Amino acid sequence: MRILQIVPSISLIYGGPSQMVLGLAPALASEGVEVTILTTDSNGDNGQKPLDVPLNQPIKQDGYEIIYFRCSPFRRYKFSLDLLQWLKRHAHEFDLAHIHALFSPVSSTAATVCRQQKLPYILRPLGTLDPADLKKKKQLKQIYAAILERPNLAGAGMIHFTSEQEAKVSERFGVTTKDLVLPLGVIPKGDGEKDVRQKFGIPEDVPLVLFMSRIDPKKGLDLLIPALEILLDKGLKFHFVLAGTNPQDPSYEQQIKVEIENSTLQKHTTITGFVTGELKSALLYAADLFVLPSYYENFGIAVAEAMVAGTPVIISDQVHICQEVHDSESGWVGATEVPALVELLRDALQNPEECQRRGLNAKQYALQNYSWNAIARQIIQAYKEVLSLE
């Protein structure tokens, strides 16, 4: 089986949903699937330099290959004419394409090329069909959907959602294409730097509350910061670590930093910026609580990463793996309201033994359900099902 994975970018800047193909591809390869990733050299939307990678040639790694194409024209929108021309020439060499992202020009037009070339494909929306996301640039998206995405969805063999909740709430524009509901995987990693508390001057006896995600308005920092301030006023002890960045909206990131600097939280907060590798793993393992009170999240890869590290999570009921977290008692789930978040944080911080129990549950659940190898085998069955219908 020869499979194309098509994604606008795999740069770290765009977060876990874009990078998921780097976890899926080797897992598919280990099951005997030939995988080629088509992507662009895009590395941010605010003047950042493109990825320093060879272009227009296969790069072999971990049993699969990646081909990067120049993001041109329209760098801001991650478009690549070269990628589409390559796809048109080589589509007949593959059995199926797995296309990641909607409302992204390179993905939208790639689906159109696949239909023209009679190449079956599966679409993964990345949360772009969530009504909350569709409200952004609403009129433009309505036109875009009518012209491109509705025909793309109608022509897909399946629509790949990463949670039951994402599938439930997603807009389909009247299309009845079959759903494929499979989570994203997480690669278990070591605990990295063991002296992370020492590195940031965090006492061992103070609970570490971790936010690790893109610093974006949808992530609920406008709920988390006042909730933490209230807890401080009530005398609870903790240290807050804010890990993340937003090169696409640096002004919002700066706004959050200024808010914390002018807050009672200032003396109890460490702002790390973007973290990766050993430091990222170390923070996930060192944290006593991971918090993501997001307004909408089609999966929440950072939540799954915290769970696999054995860290209990506090998330909103708009993070679409909330039911799984609730049912497995891997943490706490609440509404996107400051009072609700205050109550959850207080319960967790005042009950370290319960935190520990839920952290163990989180690790067990994540290792069983967010293993790339298990997910790859299920995706292969979906590929075979789509191909059997052709």
Residue 47 pLDDT exceeds 90: no
Q: Are 154 and 175 in contact (CB under 8 A)?
A: yes
Q: Mean of the pLDDT values across residues 241-257?
A: 92
All domains of the chain, ordered by start, with CATH? Answer: 2-185+371-388 (3.40.50.2000), 196-369 (3.40.50.2000)
Question: Which phi and psi angles does 80 have, rounded to 5°?
Answer: -145, 105
Dmax over CA atoms of the chain, in Å, equals 65
pLDDT range class, residue 12, cuts 50, 70, 90: confident
Residue 216 pLDDT exceeds 70: yes
Least-confidence region, from 186-195, 211-220, 262-271, 303-312: 186-195
Q: Are 330 and 312 in contact (CB under 8 A)?
A: yes
Residue 142 pLDDT exceeds 70: yes
pLDDT at 316 (0 to 100): 97
* 5-14, 43-52, 71-80, 327-336 — most confident range: 327-336
Q: Where are the alpha helices (DSSP H) in the chain?
A: 16-19, 21-30, 81-90, 105-116, 131-134, 138-144, 150-155, 164-169, 196-200, 221-233, 250-261, 277-286, 301-308, 322-327, 338-349, 352-369, 372-388
pLDDT at 194 (0 to 100): 67
Q: Mean of the pLDDT values across residues 141-160?
A: 92
pLDDT at 136 (0 to 100): 87
Residue 188 pLDDT exceeds 90: no
Residue 66 pLDDT exceeds 90: yes
Mean pLDDT taken over the chain: 92
Residue 16 pLDDT exceeds 80: no
pLDDT at 46 (0 to 100): 66
> Tens of pLDDT along 158-178?
999 999 999 999 999 999 999
> Tens of pLDDT along 253-297?
999 999 999 999 999 999 999 998 889 999 999 999 999 999 999
Q: Which of 291, 206, 202 is nearest to 243 (CA)?
A: 291
**The two three-digit tokens of residue 189, written as one number:** 């990693």
Written as one letter, the residue type at 171 is E
> Tens of pLDDT along 287-300?
999 999 999 998 88
